[in-house]
């Protein structure tokens, strides 16, 4: 897969490394992990307590924190980064937020698919198409679309199957 080659390139250029058994990007951005199914449980627990709109806002804030942080670091390392590694899809993948396909960004609308997402898929299987994970990731991906393309939008989701969901949004004016 193409992403694999890009990750390996980051390792070779020493932009992705390990320190004290932690994975670090640009020697500064620390990663942590969380069981994907457990995250779907966490998000459903939050939905029970606070509702879907709250989750959407929480996803937006979480995604924006990630994109802001990585962009700060990217500016420092910009000359070392191949252009294709500055792509939104690659950045989303490197940040661990998921892989998006078929990104269709028009003047007033955006659409993309999310195949085999490790949190969204199990959440749909367990809680159905209204799962809290969907609202959370609508907010998270909206943050990326807005920050990357200056395209403010509220995303909605069509579940084709647990392994294939579509997200769409109109540009907010």
Partner 1 sequence: MCLCGARSVFSGTTIEKKILQKIIKIEHAHAVLLSKLHYIMWPARSFAVMWQQLGEDLGPGELYDIGFKAGEDGADEIINLMGFRTMTIPMRLRMLMRMFEVLGFGVAEWIKMDPKQNQVILHLHNMPVIDEGKQLYGPNSLVSHHYMGIFAVHMRKELGVENADLRETQSVAKGSKFSEWVTGVKFK
Which residues contact partner 1 (rule: CB under 8 A)?
1, 3-5, 7-8, 11, 16-18, 20-23, 25, 29-39, 41-42, 45-46, 49-50, 54, 58, 61-63, 65-66, 69-70, 93-97, 99, 118-119
Given strand 156-161, what is the order of strands in its sheet? 101-105, 109-115, 164-170, 156-161
User: In sequence order, which residues have a C-beta less than 8 Å from that of residue 30 and are 6 or more positions away?
Assistant: 22, 23, 24
Beta strands in 71-125 (DSSP E): 101-105, 109-115
What is the nearest approach in angstroms of partner 1 to the Cβ of residue 109? 27
Residue number, 37 or 168, with CB nearest to partner 1: 37
Of 68, 82, 91, residue with least CA distance to 143: 68
Residue number, 81 or 170, with CB nearest to partner 1: 81
CB 148 within 8 A of CB 88: yes
Residue number, 94 or 110, with CB nearest to partner 1: 94
Residue number, 7 or 111, with CB nearest to partner 1: 7
The alpha carbon of 79 is separated from its chain's Cα centroid by a whole number of angstroms, namely: 24
Q: What is the Cα–Cα distance from 46 to 31, expressed in whole angstroms?
A: 23
What is the nearest approach in angstroms of partner 1 to the Cβ of residue 92? 9
Residue number, 121 or 169, with CB nearest to partner 1: 121
What is the nearest approach in angstroms of partner 1 to the Cβ of residue 169? 21
Instruction: Take residue 145 and report the two structure tokens written for it.
Output: 């679309």
What is the nearest approach in angstroms of partner 1 to the Cβ of residue 107? 30
């Amino acid at each position: 897969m193409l992403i694999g080659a890009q990750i390996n390139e980051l390792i070779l250029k020493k932009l992705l490394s390990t320190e004290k058994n932690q994975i670090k990007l640009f020697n500064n951005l620390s990663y942590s992990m969380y069981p994907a199914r457990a995250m779907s449980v966490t998000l459903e627990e939050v939905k029970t307590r606070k509702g879907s709109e709250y989750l959407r806002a929480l996803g937006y804030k979480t995604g924006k924190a990630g994109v802001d942080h990585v962009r700060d670091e990217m500016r420092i390392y910009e000359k070392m980064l191949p252009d294709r590694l500055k792509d939104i899809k690659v950045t989303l993948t490197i940040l661990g937020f998921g892989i998006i396909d078929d990104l269709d960004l028009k003047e007033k609308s955006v659409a993309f698919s999310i195949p085999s997402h490790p949190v969204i898929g199990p959440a749909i299987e367990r809680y159905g198409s209204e799962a809290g994970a969907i609202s959370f990731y609508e907010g998270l991906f909206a943050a990326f679309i807005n920050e990357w393309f200056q395209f403010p939008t509220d995303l909605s989701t069509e579940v084709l199957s647990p392994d294939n969901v579509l997200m769409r949004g109109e540009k907010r004016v």
